Structure 1
């Protein structure tokens, strides 16, 4: 997902083997230091739910995805109240940390952009 200005360096970094070799270990270190995986969460579980685009994307999840998300959040909240991460076998593995909500959010953003385009479209009449 792009930043607040709609810009993302990810494609540029992925296209450069040298930059990718430098940035990938830093990204893995940062994700490991964020500790959300120790509580069994996925990255998309951390998205701010008050955002209208995220709200709409959440409504598009399958019932199973919605249930799994709610379970992960409740389990993480319980572990946080106990001030102890989950046992190591319940941690989210990096290969399991997939972006399940991002495609829905991107679809909502595209739809909003298209809606804004069509809402501001000016129709002019040509005379023959």
Structure 2
């Protein structure tokens, strides 16, 4: 429920077939209504970059992923300046909107927890 990206009921909802059936149409509608796909952005592009764990995760992206991320930001800011959305054929499709940054953020969070555990370890002499 509590992860590095905040509170989430997603694991609980995904584990239940009934809840998953109820929430999937709403989730698809909400993602479309949010409007970030119409500007060529993916969900992970919306993560707050000022967090240390997200900064470290961005540093772990491959060269291609980093280039694609920068291109999406430049294209979205150009759309914002022009106050127009991208043409419909250039919108990000739901199957293309994959979580490319989340695995890196989770990995960084695990490393931080492990580092914290080792930093607080105490050594006793016999």
Q: Give 2:102's aligned residue.
A: 102
Contact 2:2 2:8 in 1 (8 A): yes
Contact 2:38 2:88 in 1 (8 A): yes
Shift in alpha-carbon separation, 1:19–1:108, aligned structure 2, 3 A: same
Give 4+ residue runs of structure 1 displaced > 2 Å after superposition: 1-8
Q: Give 2:48's aligned residue.
A: 48
Contact 2:40 2:76 in 1 (8 A): yes
How does the TM-score come out when normalised to structure 2? Answer: 0.93
Gaps of 5+ in 2: none
Q: Give 1:14's aligned residue.
A: 14
Shift in alpha-carbon separation, 1:55–1:4, aligned structure 2, 3 A: closer
Shift in alpha-carbon separation, 1:96–1:5, aligned structure 2, 3 A: closer
Following the alignment from structure 1 to structure 2, what is the Cα–Cα distance between the partners of residues 53 and 43? 17
Higher Rg: 1
1:7 Cα shift? Answer: 4.5
CA RMSD of aligned residues (A): 1.7
Gaps of 5+ in 1: none
Count of equivalent residues: 126
Mapped pair 1:83 → 2:88: no
1:6 Cα shift? Answer: 5.6
Following the alignment from structure 2 to structure 1, what is the Cα–Cα distance between the partners of residues 2 and 71? 28
